[in-house]
Amino acid sequence: MFSHSAFRPRCAKWLIATGLFLMLGACVDKPNTLERVKEDGVLRVITRNSPATYFQDRNGETGFEYELVKRFAEDLGVKLQIETADNIDDLYDQMHKPGGPVLAAAGLIATDTRKQQVRFSHPYLQVTPQVVYRNGQSRPSSANDLIGKKIMVLKGSSHAEMLAALKKKLPGIEYEESDAVEVVDLLRMVDEGQIDLTLVDSNELAMNQVYFSNIRVGFDLGDGSDQRWVVAPGEDNSLLNEINNFLDKVEKNGTLQHLKDRYYGHVDVLGYVGAYTFAQHLQERLPKYQKHFQVSAKEEKVDWRLLAAIGYQESLWQAGVTSKTGVRGLMMLTQNTAQAMGVSNRLDAKQSIEGGAKYFAYMKDQLDDKILEPDRTWLALAAYNVGSGHLDDARKMAENEGLNPNKWLDVKKMLPRLAEKKWYRKTRYGYARGGEPVNFVANIRRYYDILTWVTQPQLEGSQVADGNLHVPGVDKTKPTEGTNPTL
């Protein structure tokens, strides 16, 4: 039998030991969110399937949010697993489920309601909510003009919240929230007159403006807002801190700016007027030549949409044009090039496209084997425009500067020098308007991106699989995997 006094110290020791063990156990058993993600080797991210966030293009998965979050996963040394939500409410629901994705990267805005439910990261993109209307209708210029209009916005969006707040002051405002559409659908509905107005963020409008020739911005509703990532409720701050460090880092080292230029810089390339014009030409001019592009592309083993993009840059898809330097036709062939490619009539669209395709394929073929895709395509385009001799001069210059002559990003820095005497006098082929191929390639890349988006099979299933043009929409009922042709 144990005496009372003998029991107490031993019991105390046992309790302390057990307590320590449990505390230790707690530390070992419950890693923080960041540790858990690293242990699992997977970062589960939820997003929306839209051109501004995540979609499939000719090279596979892409989108501003996707690219940014992919870099974050790489930094963590883990694989990225993307999941898509049907709509914004669904996205937040998924985040609340235990065992759901830990992070949402979907162009989200920290509204008052959402801030009470989840934690937001530092901002990475400034956007402005814009009221969009149809050209020809009276232009809305203030909140009062929303009264009596048929308005639709995304369900659960920051825009729906803005309208709800506005309706308290202006009860005459009526609007519908839909969870069956994406931003592109809302813009198309305005473009086609099915609704009067919608509210979208400036970045989404910038991406889509080019597809809808009738949409216009009425006014900015409120001040700019910031897009942020969201960490699932119930998670500790370890992942959020890591995200914030990452976002600060990419802001400082220029990666973020590079992505913004890549995804949203095209409005600068095209300009708003250029965007409407392109949308119109897409419908009115391209159909006349699409078959020729497709046949020649097959022949030369290149993507027809790239050839079409060259054609647009050269002539805005017009067969009868002549430049002030005497270069002619839809693909703007010089007399020499036309002769070398067997083109007898440069103003004949079919011949011009065949000759241009052949010349482009030839330019690509004769590049150094060390030049890999996609740089090979961009350098071949530059050669198409400025000639392969001048391109070689710029590549040599890049090498002399310690840059990589096989990378377009480096060569394009050198090309404008070909117009400056202090540089071109030391080159083999001398003076060239080296700025021209830089713009040429930037524009073609943009047109190519647009054409890829409007012809992707995922948009409308089999009808588009044969390469017909469609104004974009997002079909959420279809899988997005594996549907894209590669470059």
Using CB under 6 A as the binding rule, whether residue 334 contacts ligand BLG is answered as yes
Residue (124 or 359) nearer to ligand BLG, CB: 359
Is 384 a binder of ligand BLG (CB under 6 A)? yes
Return the residue of 211, 359, 408, 424 that touches ligand BLG, per CB under 6 A.
359
If one asks whether residue 332 binds ligand BLG (CB under 6 A), the answer comes out as yes
* Shortest Cβ 314–ligand BLG spacing (Å): 6
Maximum Cα interatomic distance, the chain, rounded to a whole number of Å: 115
- Cβ neighbourhood burial of 313 (10 Å; 0-12, 13-18, 19+): buried
- Give min distance, CB of 434 to ligand BLG, in A: 11
Q: Which residue has tokens 């009596």? A: 148
Contacts of 314 (CB under 8 A, 6+ apart): 330, 331, 332, 356
Alpha-carbon distance values, 89 to 26, 92, 198, 357, 480 (Å): 34, 5, 18, 48, 21
CA distances from 8 to 13, 15, 19, 20, 93 (A): 9, 10, 16, 18, 52
Site for ligand BLG in 388-417 (CB under 6 A): 388-389
User: Least distance (Å) from ligand BLG to the CB of residue 360?
Assistant: 8
Place of tokens 């302390």: 16
Residue 215 or 332 having the CB closest to ligand BLG: 332
Q: How many CB atoms lie within 10 A of CB 186?
A: 26
CB of 328 to ligand BLG, least distance (A): 9
Token pair of 406, please? 């096989």
Q: What are phi and psi of 434, to 5 degrees?
A: -70, -20
Q: How far is the CB of 271 from ligand BLG (least distance, A)?
A: 18
List of residues 6+ apart from 263 with CB closer than 8 A: 52, 63, 64, 67, 203, 207
Binding span for ligand BLG by CB under 6 A among 123-131, 133-141, 265-273, 323-331: 323-331
Question: Tokens at residue 79, please?
Answer: 């694989």
Check residue 327 for interaction with ligand BLG (CB under 6 A): yes
How big is the site for ligand BLG, counted in residues (CB under 6 A)?
A: 17
Catalytic residue among 314, 401, 436, 481: 314
Residue of this chain nearest to ligand BLG (CB atom): 387
Indicate if 284 belongs to the active site: no
What track of x and - describes contact with ligand BLG for positions 192 through 211 (by CB under 6 A)?
--------------------
**Residues of this chain that bind ligand BLG (CB under 6 A):** 314, 323-325, 327, 332-334, 336-337, 359, 384-389
Active-site amino acid positions: 314
